[in-house]
Amino acid sequence: MTEQVNTADGAPNRTSVERRGDRELLVTRTFDAPPSTVYKAWSQPELFQRWWMPKSVPGISLVSCEMDVRTGGKYRLEFGAGDSDTMAFYGKYLEVVPNERIVWTNDEGDEGAITTVTFEGQGGRTLLTFHEIYPSKEALEEALQGSAVALPEQLEQLDELLSSLGG
């Protein structure tokens, strides 16, 4: 599945979501901002929580966002729906290279992926690559029916945030 979004100058910013084999998911998108700005939006909790939760999902919010974005650091995202119980997603950062790459685990269950996000500069723009490797074919199938469906919307919200920050 591929979604195309045009930028202010008319050039397409396309979110591409692609299955690779039985266990891999690859998502790419170009942003009209330098890698340092895009990296900040992924690594600073106050920015991350402004775009990560898809707005089209009613009644659920990101109620807590703890991120220690460094190699060996940990993260914990807690989502809530009104007064009901919360659901947490957490893991550790395996590799962090500022403005270039973030690699983390998804430790909330046995079927969690290893996620790698890279930020590649392209003349003032950034090619973002979001790559996940799942432990099984079934785990990837579940993601393709759930969380992966929201990625184009999340990256569109990231694009809006980057525009508000002045690229």
Q: Are 39 and 120 in contact (CB under 8 A)?
A: no
Q: Does the residue 84 lie in any domain?
A: no
- Tens-digit pLDDT profile for residues 25-71: 999 999 999 999 999 999 999 999 999 999 888 888 889 999 999 99
- Tens-digit pLDDT profile for residues 70-104: 999 999 999 988 766 888 999 999 999 999 999 99
Q: Which two tokens stand for residue 132?
A: 């996940």
Residue tagged 């973030």 (tokens): 102
Q: Are 62 and 51 in contact (CB under 8 A)?
A: no
Q: Does the residue 22 lie in any domain?
A: yes
CATH number, domain at 135? 3.30.530.20
SS3 (DSSP) at 38: helix
- pTM of the predicted structure, to 2 decimals: 0.88
Beta bridge partners of 7: none
Q: Which two tokens stand for residue 9?
A: 């100058």
Q: Does the residue 13 lie in any domain?
A: no
Q: Are 55 and 157 in contact (CB under 8 A)?
A: yes
